[in-house]
Chains A and B, each alone.
Chain A
Amino acid sequence: MRAIQGVARGPAIRFTVDGRAVEAFAGETLATALLAAGIRVFRRDQEGGGRAPYCNMGACYECLVWVSEAPSGPGVRVRACLTPARADMIVRTAAADDL
């Protein structure tokens, strides 16, 4: 949950995660935005187990999600903890990973 005391956040932004609209605040990483939206499984491992942010500093690569700018675009995998959420981003989580 978002801390409230003493925090003035930036403007709200909207983007799409797995086809549904998610609202976040400018400056939040995708990790924060997804966790705040109640998304707890970011991707699945080779045995189907859920994975989610672990280190929050770009070292573990657990928080990988797919990001594209267009609905049918190829997308790139990014570390959600290092990627700022941007308006109109298209994000996919928990997709089957072939790595």
Chain B
Amino acid sequence: MTSDRASGVAENEYDVAVVGGGPAAMAFARTVAPYGLKLVVLDEQPRPGGQILRQPPREFTVTGWLASGGYDGLKRLLGRFDGLDGVRWIGSTSVLGLSPADGGLELSLAGLDAPRAVRARRVLVATGCQELAAPFPGWTMPGVMTAGGVQTLLKSQQFIAGDRILFCGVHPLQLIVADQVTSAGGTVAGVVFAQPWSSAWGLARYAGTALSNLGLLGQAARAMIRLRRRGVPILFGQVPRRALGGDVLEAVELQSLAGEARSAIACDGLALCYGFTPQSELPRSAGADFAWDEPYGGWRVVHDAWMRSSLPGVQVAGEVTGVGGAVKSTIEGEIAALGLLRDEGLISEGEAQARARPLARAHRDVLAFAAMLKALTSPGLALSKMACDETMICRCEMVRLADLKAARAQNVQVGRPSALKLLTRAGMGLCGARNCECAVVRYVAAADGRPIEAADAFTARFPTRSTSIASLL
């Protein structure tokens, strides 16, 4: 990748700025770069790849990194991205805001080696997803992590996040991560699904789409076989009741979905895997239209056939348009690229349509697969069983479910999430409501008896990542 002096455009001014460096961004850049446009790609991670391809540090040599498990296509994409001309990579940088500026757009940044801002005529937001927060008593204890966090510590940092790790969730990714942990020499105390065993046979209903996307499900099935061979218990129909320990995690007490106590499992790590939510704070803070993303929750940015959001000049691609996996992300990155090239007059309408046609077919297939997977992994019931009054819903501001209920009870006319935020401070902490908003929105919808699709969001604002005042001066 070359630095940015080639075209006559001023430093820190680009044709296109891409927020996020994962599969959607890389597919977009690969398609756009050959047309001579000057791109910048920004990410909080030091190296490209996003979360699914969290690369080891340059100082490490890892033999057979992500060698098994269907990552080959993505790794090839990563290799192509690294070799592109006219693309500047700015890693280890948070994007704080997006606003119109001088007929284009400006992104304000915070990063040690980054400029304060970059400007571009067009922006692609490909900020991916994060894990859905699944609150329960004791979930803030050291040792409780997300399954993705355990996975990225392993695949990137080559670190196993505990001596004995328990996995609890709804998503088959937890089987894959548990298998990766045991293959690396770690110990897994068990993998616990909220769904009953019978739901696994729901796959038969979707045989067509499942077979054409054996990627994730095939990996998960093979992972389960290996885990069983290693004697790792795989349990169904259970969720965490309480995390136990003094200062740090020592065990997790499980319960059935009916609330009956089950075993307490000794562990020093708990990996939660209850689904994923779009990281859409940046475009929402700039006013982009959005909608609730079922079944895990969070806000997906809505878009047209060419991935254009409701904000002029801003496209979206990947998990931020709705959680659906890496293949969906690469398809959408490419569709967005074609849309951009068409808008810029660099390819004709006819060529854009012709190139987009197979992508649209592939997109429909992958959305069908994602819909099937989502139907089998809906976390709503589990979430409702896990959180109780004493549970901390807002980790940052220490707001418990009981506090939310009390605020509503004391202020009957005030029930919207943003009002509860003002009354209780839920959502006002450093994480920017990333780990409490879904729970608050779900609570309000249930208490109101209104459908979740009609729910209101917290207002997303600048800065969309908490930062020091020094970085803004």
Contact = CB atoms under 8 A, between A and B. Distances in A.
Answer yes or no: are A and B bound together in one complex: yes
Interface string B43-71: 01110000100001111111110000000
Interface string A49-90: 111111111111110100000000000110000101000000
A29 interface: yes
A60 B394 CA distance: 11
A9 B398 contact: no
Main secondary structure of the interface of B (DSSP, over half): loop
Contacts of A26: 57, 59
Given A29-B157, A55-B149, A62-B395, A7 B62 contact: yes
Interface string A16-56: 00000000011111011001100011100111011111111
Interface residues of A, number: 46
B144 interface: yes
A68 to B, nearest CB: 13
A59 B145 contact: no
Contact of A3 (B58, B145, B159, B435): B159
A96 interface: no
Interface stretch (B32-40, B135-143, B313-321, B353-361): B135-143
B44 A27 contact: no
Contacts of B152: 56-57
Contacts of A62: 140, 395, 431
B60 A3 contact: no
B363 to A, nearest CB: 26
B159 A40 contact: no
Contacts of A76: 468, 470
B308 to A, nearest CB: 26
A29 B145 CA distance: 17
Contacts of A25: 59-60
Contacts of A55: 130-131, 145-146, 148-149
Contact of B184 (A3, A35, A40, A53): A3
A46 B154 CA distance: 31
Contacts of B92: 82
A49 B140 contact: yes
B140 A51 contact: yes
Contacts of A49: 140-141
A1 B140 contact: no
Contacts of B207: none
Contacts, number: 141
A32 B141 contact: no
Nearest to B281: A59
Residue in B59, B430, B470 whose Cβ sees the most chain A Cβ within 10 Å: B59
B301 interface: no
A57 B149 contact: yes
A52 B62 contact: no
Residue in A29, A42, A59 whose Cβ sees the most chain B Cβ within 10 Å: A59
Contacts of B378: none
A40 B133 CA distance: 21
Contacts of A1: 159-160, 163, 185-186
Contacts of B160: 1-3
Nearest to A47: B398
B320 to A, nearest CB: 13
A42 B248 CA distance: 11
A77 B140 CA distance: 20
Given A1-B159, A27-B56, A29-B157, A54 B62 contact: no
B248 A50 contact: yes
B168 to A, nearest CB: 14
A24 to B, nearest CB: 10
10 contacts: A2-B159, A3-B154, A26-B59, A28-B57, A49-B141, A52-B248, A53-B145, A54-B145, A60-B434, A77-B468
Interface of A: 1-11, 25-29, 31-32, 35-36, 40-42, 45-47, 49-62, 64, 76-77, 82, 84, 99
Given A7-B62, A59-B130, 19 more contacts: A2-B160, A3-B185, A5-B184, A6-B63, A8-B62, A10-B60, A28-B57, A40-B143, A40-B247, A51-B140, A52-B143, A52-B248, A55-B146, A56-B146, A56-B150, A56-B152, A61-B429, A62-B140, A77-B468
